[in-house]
Amino acid sequence: MGNDAQTPDTAESVDFKEVQSTERFQELRKRHRSFVFPMAIAFLLWYFAYVLLADYAVGFMSTKVWGNINIGLILGLLQFVSTFAITGWYVSYSNRKLDPIAAEIRQGIEGHEFDKAGNPVSGAVK
Amino acid sequence: MIGIPSAVNVAALKDTTLLNMAIFGLFVAVTMVIVFRASRNNKTAADYYAAGRSFSGSQNGTAIAGDYLSAASFLGITGAIAINGYDGFMYSIGFLVAWLVALLLVAELLRNTGKFTMADVLSFRLKQRPVRIAAAISTLAVCFFYLLAQMAGAGSLISLLLGISDWGGQALVIIVVGALMIMYVLIGGMKGTTWVQIIKAILLIAGAGVMTLWVLSIYGFNLSNLLGAAVETANNPNVLNPGLQYGKSETSKLDFMSLGLALVLGTAALPHVLMRFYTVPTAKEARKSVVWSIWLIGLFYLFTLVLGYGAAALVGADTIKSAPGGVNSAAPLLAFHLGGPLLLGFISAVAFATILAVVAGLTITAAASFAHDIYASVISKGKADADTEVKVARRTVVVIGVMAIVGGIFANGQNVAFLVALAFAVAASANLPTILYSLFWRKFTTQGAVWSMYGGLGSAIILIIFSPVVSGGATSMIKDANFAIFPLSNPGIVSIPLAFFLGWLGTVLDKQREDTTKQAEMEVRSLTGVGAEKATNH
């Protein structure tokens, strides 16, 4: 077979508990969680604030701002904007802060099968 | 033109039936050839389920958009906005924002820890058998609800195109769609299905984009004028304000909250979307695919706003409601109004292909889950070889196809976006707590997972059965009986918190501890991609 996502040949000999306790891995874990958790809470709060306003503050949401465009429509479109912005922010954060450290730990475990960008050197995308 | 609803002559649709069917037939023929060519390299289980992990991030992102932009998004949301105004827009926002949960918390970690199905991740560090069975059952349930919605959409669309309004004729149409879909999946596997999704996503977004520009051009590219025209046609200024559908009572307001919760938490728990992350070679590509799909999906949902209000202004809610296919016919009727039979034929073919492709994606997910999680891992206890597993998957496709056909015949006539929201509620209740707990909570145990999955799945389905969706209302599936003791039509606000609570309770009450080595392995793998980054070597 040799085509599973997990290749046991590289993994069985690894002491994952030891890797988990290393400073580098703890740093990676911290960087990941300190970004995704606050961000997830923030966008969920913003989304539910919007839903609650649309549900219980109909008068406010119906206030016309420009022509027939009301506050409800503007807040709805701002949900689109914030979604696109968070997406871009996360990608740039991952590229700068997460990928290099993840590739480093991976290389340490698997030997040098990956280049600096974290891409497999051979036999990857066909 | 503003304010004068030009009558869309629904009867005239019948004259264009042949043209519609010719365009649709051409699409089916072209995709069949592609599926057939793509399938020639299907040799292993990884090929069949995960397309040999050979797709790039942008290809997979387009395919995810194809999977996600189902009949619910196109027919359902456009119809909901056309009829209920602002409240329909809620679907667009919820369906889009939900992707952030998938992007930030699930996609990459899942790609790094799994193989083929959602259950691979959930059972990674817990006890294989009970968790796998629970995950497979919830996968089958979610896929079934989602399939119902797609089949209902197919019924609406065809009844409009062919002017078939009798129950037997629509049932026959659903049977034909189901048979086509079974063919796709049997021949093409994941690779063929992915290609169909890609082609369909491009056609759908392009088609909706053209219609959006067309509608905007009628109103001088001024959104405010379009909204004004919608108000005039509806003769009701409240179509621009929240609350037209859900603001009637305290119960309906609670229902709106419930819908909002299910929409935003459902996406990251949809098995057929999760399975797409396995068709790319690395976590970085998984991230790229999500980013790509967020842009495509966001763009499309902006189109739905214009299309929905465009249909409200140019076609009118009353015409839409009385057309065969009802609320789901807003988008095709708008196409007919704008571009006559040619545009209607094209848009209908795209909508039809959308349904076909989404149904194929759902079916292959359900089949993979049954063959991989229940048959290979539990029934034959890991002794089945890959060939037998794929054979079982193919047989499952036929069984699920038949079930979807029967279910679709009964769900016919309901708003597709609404039906899909039920699938989201079931997914968010049954799967999301366990996915998040097992990725982020070290102490999470098997008992917690099993309680959360069965508790969430069971409560969501039971509440739906006793809701106004199934009985007691004018639009219910069973109109003659009334056992709707639960007042909300979406169960999310009860079943999702309950499932999170049960996952916590089951864990703290569990006397057994899970293997900390496995936990360490899962955490290291999920964040670094060790072992998972290597692509397939044939």
- CA dist B151 and B245 (Å) reads 24
The CA-based diameter of chain B, rounded to the nearest angstrom, is 71
Taking contacts as CB-CB distances below 8 angstroms, the residues of chain B near A62 are 238, 240-242
Between B295 and B147, residue with greater pLDDT: B295
What's the pLDDT score for residue B14? 62
CB within 8 Å: B530 and A76: no
Confidence of residue B272 (pLDDT cuts 50, 70, 90): confident
Q: How far is A99 from chain B (nearest CA, A)?
A: 8
Q: What is the mean pLDDT of residues B201-213?
A: 93
Question: Which residue ranges make up each domain of chain B?
Answer: 7-38+52-413
| Surface-to-core class of residue A81, CB atoms within 10 Å of its CB (0-12 exposed, 13-18 middle, 19+ buried) | exposed
Q: What is the mean pLDDT of residues B206-212?
A: 94
* Token code pair at residue B199: 């082609």
CB within 8 Å: A123 and B537: yes
What's the pLDDT score for residue B165? 72
Q: HEC states along B170-222?
A: HHHHHHHHHHHHHHHHHHHHHHHHHHHHHHHHHHHHHHHHHHHHHHHHHCCCC
Taking contacts as CB-CB distances below 8 angstroms, the residues of chain B near A102 are 527-529
- CA dist B301 and B406 (Å) reads 31
Q: How high is the mean pLDDT of chain B?
A: 83
Asked if pLDDT for residue B3 goes beyond 80, the answer is no
What's the pLDDT score for residue B348? 80
CB within 8 Å: B294 and A84: yes
Task: Tell me the whole-structure pTM to 2 decimals.
Answer: 0.86
What's the pLDDT score for residue B384? 72
Taking contacts as CB-CB distances below 8 angstroms, the residues of chain A near B537 are 2-3, 123
What's the pLDDT score for residue B71? 78
3-state DSSP call for residue B22? helix
Asked if pLDDT for residue B517 goes beyond 80, the answer is yes
CB within 8 Å: A1 and B86: no
User: What is the tens place of the pLDDT at every residue in B178-200?
Assistant: 787 777 777 777 677 777 788 88
CB contact residues (below 8 A), chain A span 3-42, against chain B: 3-8, 10-11, 14, 16-17, 19-20, 25, 28-29, 32-33, 36, 39-40
CB within 8 Å: B524 and A32: no
CB within 8 Å: A3 and B247: no
CB within 8 Å: B93 and A11: no
Q: Could you tell me if B263 and B91 are in contact, meaning their C-beta atoms sit under 8 angstroms apart?
A: yes
What's the pLDDT score for residue B205? 93
Highest mean pLDDT among B50-59, B129-138, B400-409: B129-138
Asked if pLDDT for residue B305 goes beyond 60, the answer is yes
Measured at the CA of B42, the angle between CA A110 and CA B365, to 5 degrees, comes to 80
Q: Is A78 on the interface with B (CB under 8 A)?
A: no
Scan for tokens 């194809």, then name that residue: B66
What's the pLDDT score for residue A124? 37
Asked if pLDDT for residue B407 goes beyond 50, the answer is yes
What's the pLDDT score for residue A36? 95
Asked if pLDDT for residue B36 goes beyond 50, the answer is yes
- CA dist B339 and B71 (Å) reads 21
DSSP one-letter code for A66 = E
CB contact residues (below 8 A), chain A span 37-76, against chain B: 39-40, 43-44, 47-48, 50-52, 54-56, 58, 61-62, 66-70, 72-73, 76
Between A65 and B23, residue with greater pLDDT: A65
What's the pLDDT score for residue A7? 43
Size of interface A-B (CB pairs under 8 A): 209
CATH class in words for B7-38+52-413: mainly alpha
Q: How far is B48 from chain A (nearest CA, A)?
A: 12
Asked if pLDDT for residue B334 goes beyond 60, the answer is yes
What's the pLDDT score for residue B39? 67
3-state DSSP call for residue B78? helix
Nearest to A20 among B111, B246, B520 (CB): B520
For B118-121, the CB contacts below 8 A with 24+ separation are B118/B271, B118/B274, B118/B275, B118/B369, B118/B431, B118/B435, B119/B369, B119/B372, B119/B373, B120/B372, B121/B435, B121/B438, B121/B439
What's the pLDDT score for residue A119? 53
Q: What is the ipTM of this complex?
A: 0.87
DSSP one-letter code for B13 = G
One pLDDT digit (tens) per residue for chain A, 126 residues: 333 444 444 445 678 888 888 899 999 999 999 999 999 999 999 999 999 999 999 889 999 998 899 999 999 999 999 999 999 999 999 999 999 999 888 888 876 444 444 455 443 333
What's the pLDDT score for residue B44? 66
Residue in chain B lying closest to A55 (CA): B253
- CA dist B71 and B218 (Å) reads 26
Asked if pLDDT for residue B135 goes beyond 60, the answer is yes
Taking contacts as CB-CB distances below 8 angstroms, the residues of chain B near A123 are 534-535, 537
Among candidate residues B418, B80, B97, B7, the one with its CA nearest the CA of residue B239 = B80
Scan for tokens 């209902």, then name that residue: B152
Which range, of B68-72, B156-160, B283-287, B526-530, averages the lowest pLDDT?
B156-160
Chain B interface, best mutation among A13, A14, A16, by max B CB count within 10 A: A16
Residue in chain B lying closest to A93 (CA): B104
Taking contacts as CB-CB distances below 8 angstroms, the residues of chain A near B298 are 80, 83-84
Among candidate residues B146, B455, B408, the one with its CA nearest the CA of residue B273 = B146
Q: Could you tell me if A104 and A31 are in contact, meaning their C-beta atoms sit under 8 angstroms apart?
A: no
Q: Could you tell me if B366 and B399 are in contact, meaning their C-beta atoms sit under 8 angstroms apart?
A: no
Distances (CA, A) of B388 to B12, B371, B384: 52, 9, 6
What's the pLDDT score for residue B368? 84
What's the pLDDT score for residue B303? 95
Residue in chain B lying closest to A100 (CA): B528
Q: Could you tell me if B422 and B270 are in contact, meaning their C-beta atoms sit under 8 angstroms apart?
A: no
Which range, of A121-125, B134-138, B319-323, B520-524, averages the lowest pLDDT?
A121-125
Scan for tokens 């073919």, then name that residue: B349
Confidence of residue B48 (pLDDT cuts 50, 70, 90): low
Residue in chain A lying closest to B111 (CA): A5
User: What is the tens place of the pLDDT at every residue in B72-124?
Assistant: 788 889 999 999 989 899 889 999 999 999 999 998 898 888 777 888 888 88
Taking contacts as CB-CB distances below 8 angstroms, the residues of chain B near A68 are 223-225, 227-228, 231, 240
- CA dist B224 and B52 (Å) reads 49
Q: HEC states along B448-470?
A: HHHHHHHHHHHHHHHHHHCCCCC
Measured at the CA of B69, the angle between CA B237 and CA B224, to 5 degrees, comes to 25
Q: How far is A28 from chain B (nearest CA, A)?
A: 8
CB within 8 Å: B242 and A43: no
Residue in chain A lying closest to B87 (CA): A54
Distances (CA, A) of B475 to A36, B53, B118, B523: 41, 43, 34, 47
Chain A interface, best mutation among B104, B190, B257, by max A CB count within 10 A: B104
Q: What single-letter amino acid sits at B37?
A: R
* Token code pair at residue B214: 């067309």
Q: Could you tell me if B191 and B51 are in contact, meaning their C-beta atoms sit under 8 angstroms apart?
A: yes
CB within 8 Å: A67 and B227: yes
Q: Is A105 on the interface with B (CB under 8 A)?
A: yes
The full DSSP string for A94-114 is IIIIIHHHHHHHHHHHH-S-B
What's the pLDDT score for residue B400? 83
Confidence of residue B7 (pLDDT cuts 50, 70, 90): very low
